[in-house]
Amino acid sequence: MTGTTADRTRVRPARRGAPGASRRLIYLTLTAVAFFSAVPLYYSVVVASRDNAALAEVPPPLVPGGNFFANVARVFDTVPFGLALGNSVLVSGSIALSVMFFSTLAGFAFAKLRFRGRNILLLLTVATMMVPAQLGIIPLYMIMVKLEWTGTMYALIVPAMVSAFGVFFMTQYLSRALPTELLEAGRVDGCSTWGLFWHVVIPVARPAAAVLGMLTFMSAWNDYFWPLVVLTPENPTVQVALSTLAAGYVNDYVLGLTGTALGTLPLVIVFALLGKQIIGGIMQGAVKG
């Protein structure tokens, strides 16, 4: 509840005739948040470019050193990191594309099509979000043993191809952003439902689908428990490889954080490339909606 008083003191002056001061406060707050968001990552790069002896110094090192590539070589010597990167890209990319497609499809049906049982099915979808993924992990593992998918990427991709969150997210978005008149106009022009989906829904859905795709890619990339259970350290994803490093070399912070920096970097790059576009998409969608 401390947030309440902060809200009062920081936001109110905007209306009390001191817009400049309040703006500065907003920028200051947001900059502080940006700082705290970035510092742990920055610090992991600092540690990753040093050696373990440097960590014992007081004060701790605050700028990167010159040891990064030597540490990277050590990571690649310790775990199959190249393979892990390839696996993670394959798994996260497939899952993101699949979730974007199926969620938009189902979201369109739930948001704009009339059919018997729609409400109950939508409720069921939302209810499935209550089902914690970890709950079914033991039987899911047994299924994967039966399918002989343990240790392979199928075990990660196939169960994650649809997501209740995605369906709900796209339903929410499309029920607001997709004008019913547009669909009716398409119908009058003789469009089939599939035609409507392809020519009307997808263009409207694109900004939200991009956000969903990014979030899905990130969570697939960062998924830890299920890969840990079903994969082997010989054919890992990035997270499994990182946890091998963290668990096996507890006091070797430099090794662990170098792996961390390497595993996070690809995602930061993808995010830096797509993030701007995606956020622009949200804004555009909001202006139109």
Partner 1 sequence: MATRVPERLAEAPPGKPMGSRRRAVRRHLVHQLDVKGSPYAYVAPFFLLFSAFGLFPLVYTAWVSLHEWTLLADEQPFVGLENFRTLLADDYFWNATFNTLSIGVLSTVPQLLLAIWLAHLLNRPLRAQTFFRVTLLLPNVTSVVAVVVIFSQLFGRDFGMINWMLSWFGVGAVPWNEGVATSHVAISIMIMWRWTGYNALIFLAAMQAVPRELYEAATIDGASEFTQLRRITIPMIKPTIVFVVITSTIGAMQVLAEPLLFGVYTLTGGVDRQYQTLALFIYENFVKLDLGYASAISWMMFVFIVVIAGINYLITRRSRGGLV
* HSE-CB for 264 with a 13 A CA cutoff: 14
Between CA 108 and CA 112 the distance in angstroms is: 6
Least distance (Å) from partner 1 to the CB of residue 69? 20
Q: Is there binding between residue 85 and partner 1 (CB under 8 A)?
A: no
Least distance (Å) from partner 1 to the CB of residue 105? 5
Please report, as residue ranges, which positions from 229 to 258 form the binding site for partner 1 (by CB under 8 A). Answer: 229, 238-239, 242-243, 246-247, 250, 253, 256-257
* HSE-CB for 57 with a 13 A CA cutoff: 11
CB neighbours of residue 173 within 10 Å: 24
Least distance (Å) from partner 1 to the CB of residue 34? 4
Q: Is there binding between residue 285 and partner 1 (CB under 8 A)?
A: yes
Contact 214, 147 (CB under 8 A): no
Query: What is the b/e burial string over 132-153, where b = at least 16 CB atoms within 10 angstroms of the residue's CB?
Result: eeeeeeeebeeebeeeebbebb
Between CA 123 and CA 248 the distance in angstroms is: 44
Between CA 279 and CA 207 the distance in angstroms is: 8
Least distance (Å) from partner 1 to the CB of residue 243? 5
Please report, as residue ranges, which positions from 132 to 151 form the binding site for partner 1 (by CB under 8 A). Answer: 132-140, 142-143
Interface mask toward partner 1 for 188-227; x: CB under 8 A: ----xxx--x----------x--x---x--x--xx-xx--
Question: In the complex with partner 1, which residue's Cβ is closer, 29 or 203?
Answer: 29
Question: In the complex with partner 1, which residue's Cβ is closer, 76 or 281?
Answer: 281
Least distance (Å) from partner 1 to the CB of residue 86? 17
Q: Which stretch binds partner 1 (CB under 8 A): 71-79, 89-97, 123-131, 178-186?
A: 123-131
Taking CB under 8 A as the criterion, the residue among 128, 150, 152, 235 binding partner 1 is 128
Taking CB under 8 A as the criterion, the residue among 36, 66, 77, 119 binding partner 1 is 36
Interface mask toward partner 1 for 102-121; x: CB under 8 A: xx-xx-xxx--xxx--x--x
Interface mask toward partner 1 for 41-80; x: CB under 8 A: x-xx--x-------xx-xxx--------------------
Q: Is there binding between residue 92 and partner 1 (CB under 8 A)?
A: no
DSSP-assigned states of every residue in 129-166: TTS-GGGGHHHHHHHHHHHT-TTSTHHHHGGGSS-HHH
| Alpha-carbon torsion angle 69, 70, 71, 76, nearest 10 | 90
Block residue for tokens 């022009």: 189
Between CA 275 and CA 267 the distance in angstroms is: 11
Between CA 209 and CA 106 the distance in angstroms is: 12
Least distance (Å) from partner 1 to the CB of residue 274? 10
| Alpha-carbon torsion angle 249, 254, 255, 259, nearest 10 | 130
Q: Is there binding between residue 272 and partner 1 (CB under 8 A)?
A: yes
Interface mask toward partner 1 for 150-189; x: CB under 8 A: --------xx-xx-xx-xx---x---xx------------
Q: Is there binding between residue 17 and partner 1 (CB under 8 A)?
A: no
